[in-house]
A and B are shown apart, each in its own frame.
Chain A
Amino acid sequence: MPALLEGRGVTVRFGGLTALKNVDLAVGAGEVLSVIGPNGAGKTTLFNVITGRVRPTEGSVMLRGQAIQRMPPFRIARLGVVRTFQKTEVFGPLSLLDGVAAGALARDDPDPLARAREALETVGLLDKADLSAQQLSYGDQRLLELAQALAARPAVLLLDEPASGMNHQESAHIVRLIGELRTRGLAIILVEHNMQVVMKISDRVIVINYGEKIAEGEPAQVRADPRVIEAYLGVDHSAHAHA
């Protein structure tokens, strides 16, 4: 099966700093791909490239075979690549219903509010539809972000640390939700620090360190990879220092 979304040789340089170096990735419908790596490894930059907020210096991003890396963010979203943010982003004073309707409005859906209700129901916030986003708890705001993205009817959903700051119960809920979305045929790319979450729901994992992909494979395979252990635990520091 050909990949729905594919990144080929993605390289991003900010001045002298190389944030991403020759990164390949591919994700298909109904698949969960996790991107892990230490802080500052380039995971969020990778998301920014895929969603059009950062243009890659080299390389391409293909959606269903179409190059999207030079398109503005709103156009990429309308083609079906939608993200959530690491720092919670909601439409503060608007009602959940009005805010979640945004993605449906953007696609000129004839009934945006109906799409918004469906999305709120999926994440379990329908009973709070008339509250404003800023009235919600932090955990509910993270779910709201997911609803916002779902109402845009994504084919590829990028989730930037959806379980961060969540308690055990809340993150279990997120894991269930992601599983449900996968069965609906969404391609999901996940950045997540919570390793329990990653190991539980990923079909494949890629590991990035200092902007380079250092490993890729099934969760168990990646967890056992010595390069990954080194990147995370920093073994052999002395060896590097002398190298």
Chain B
Amino acid sequence: MTRHRLATAAVCVALFAVPLAVHDEYYLHLCIVAGIFAIAVLGLDLIVGYVGQLSLAHAAFFAMGAYTSALLFVNFKWSMWLGLPAAAILTGVIAFVLGSVILRTRGHRFIIITVVFAELMKLVATNWVDVTRGFMGLPGLEIPKLYVPGLGAIDIASKAHFYYVVLVVALLAFLLCRLIVRSSIGRKFVLIRENEALAESLGISALRYSMIAFAFGAVLAGAAGSLYAHYVGFVSPDLFNFSYVTIMLIMVILGGKGTLVGPALGAVIFTFLPELLREASHWRMIIFATILIVATLFMPRGIIFPLVEHLLPQRWRTRHASTP
């Protein structure tokens, strides 16, 4: 237990020390993007990893969060401090309403409906030109100043500063998710995942708890989308592209679904890996795709946990093997 706490503390210190060690703007940029993805995929892990429903609408919630923030900024000059909670709440409410209908289905039908929903939202973003400016997107978003009592307004627009904003939101997201999955709510998620009919026959409402996971997951996706919009300064319908949901699912599944830590690590690995493979640009997508196919076929627990167990000394292994 103490060793576990020590490791957690070391990881936190290391995360906070990143801008002190990394001065390269490009690598800092990747760290920020990884952090934003981590927030989104923690939410995706709740629905895919814990409740066991494969949602392909998650990137759409991310994009809707980005658009919400952008529209509030462009039209009403709402800063990120207001735009982020607004985006999170709005996507959560939309997911709640959508979920109350579509979470009555499971398996293929649910997957297909989430794809259709994501495509519909993309059409709205593309064709509602009066509001969204269509393909031209919404430019000019800014990172707000941070007001600290006694210190006044602090500029957080630099990458090193914005990294800390993302890190704090990501850690909060992680703690909230961990709180949920370790509560009786999270245990019900897992029971529904393992045998929905049995869970229902014992008194657990699959619909209610799937909705909690789906809506809270969307809240995190919306928050991440808002951070992304203000960080990049521009939103467009490209955010609804299928490649976003693909990469998020890769992060969750190869990271190790249903573990929270795995998908968060997956977000880091699969933000950096494509960039590191850039050297071999011809081979990049082929290498990436091969890893994906092999890992999906042969490593149902993802690639991180089996790898860690394999590399750790024997005395550590058994303990880690027992954690799901």
Q: Which residues of A contact B (CB under 8 A)?
A: 51, 72-75, 77-78, 82-83, 85, 89-94, 98-99, 101-103, 105-108, 112, 148-149, 151-152
Q: Which residues from B are CB-within-8-Å of A73?
A: 200-201
Query: Per a CB cutoff under 8 Å, which of A90, A105, A108, A151 touches B198?
Result: A90
B203 with A77: CB separation less than 8 A: yes
> Would A94 and B201 be within 8 Å (CB), given that A105-B184, A108-B184 are in contact?
no
Tell me, yes or no, whether B202 is within 8 Å of chain A by CB.
yes
Tell me, yes or no, whether B238 is within 8 Å of chain A by CB.
no
Query: Per a CB cutoff under 8 Å, which of B184, B194, B195, B206 touches A74?
Result: B206
Q: Which residues from B are CB-within-8-Å of A72?
A: 200, 205
Among A83, A89, A112, find the residue whose CB has the most chain B CB atoms closer than 10 A: A89
Q: Which residues from A are CB-within-8-Å of B113?
A: none
> Would A74 and B203 be within 8 Å (CB), given that A90-B198, A112-B184 are in contact?
yes
Q: Which residues from B are CB-within-8-Å of A102?
A: 188, 191, 198-199, 202-204
Query: Per a CB cutoff under 8 Å, which of B187, B198, B206 touches A98?
Result: B187
Question: Closest Cβ of chain A: how far from B159's Cβ, in Å?
Answer: 43
Nearest A residue to B208 via CB reads A74
Q: Which residues from A are CB-within-8-Å of B194?
A: 91-94, 99
> Would A82 and B184 be within 8 Å (CB), given that A93-B194, A105-B191 are in contact?
no
Would you list which residues of chain B between 186 and 239 have a CB under 8 Å from chain A?
Answer: 187-188, 190-191, 194-195, 197-206
Q: Is the interface of B mostly helix, strand, loop or mixed?
A: helix
Q: Which residues from A are CB-within-8-Å of B201?
A: 51, 73-74, 77, 82-83, 85, 89
Q: Which residues from B are CB-within-8-Å of A83?
A: 201
A77 with B202: CB separation less than 8 A: yes
Among B195, B198, B204, find the residue whose CB has the most chain A CB atoms closer than 10 A: B198
> Would A91 and B203 be within 8 Å (CB), given that A105-B184, A105-B187, A112-B184 are in contact?
no
Indicate the size class of the contact surface on chain B.
10 to 19
Rounded to whole angstroms, the CA-CA distance of A94 and B186 in the bound complex is 14
Rounded to whole angstroms, the CA-CA distance of A63 and B198 in the bound complex is 21
Nearest B residue to A153 via CB reads B203
A99 with B191: CB separation less than 8 A: yes
Supply 6 A–B pairs (Cβ within 8 Å), ascending by A. Answer: A74-B200, A74-B203, A82-B202, A89-B201, A92-B194, A102-B198
Question: Closest Cβ of chain B: how far from A158's Cβ, in Å?
Answer: 10
Q: Which residues from B are CB-within-8-Å of A99?
A: 191, 194
Known contacts A72-B200, A91-B191; 20 additional CB pairs below 8 A are: A74-B200, A74-B201, A77-B202, A78-B203, A89-B198, A90-B198, A94-B191, A99-B191, A99-B194, A102-B191, A102-B198, A102-B203, A103-B202, A105-B184, A105-B204, A107-B203, A112-B187, A148-B198, A148-B202, A149-B202
Rounded to whole angstroms, the CA-CA distance of A102 and B195 in the bound complex is 11
Would you list which residues of chain B between 161 and 204 have a CB under 8 Å from chain A?
Answer: 184, 187-188, 190-191, 194-195, 197-204
Q: Which 10 A-B pairs have the closest CB atoms?
A: A106-B203, A77-B203, A103-B202, A91-B194, A78-B203, A89-B198, A74-B205, A106-B204, A73-B200, A102-B202
Q: Which residues from A are CB-within-8-Å of B184?
A: 105, 108, 112
Question: Closest Cβ of chain B: how far from A155's Cβ, in Å?
Answer: 13
B202 with A90: CB separation less than 8 A: no
Rounded to whole angstroms, the CA-CA distance of A60 and B151 in the bound complex is 70
Would you list which residues of chain B between 65 and 89 have a CB under 8 Å from chain A?
Answer: none
Rounded to whole angstroms, the CA-CA distance of A120 and B203 in the bound complex is 18
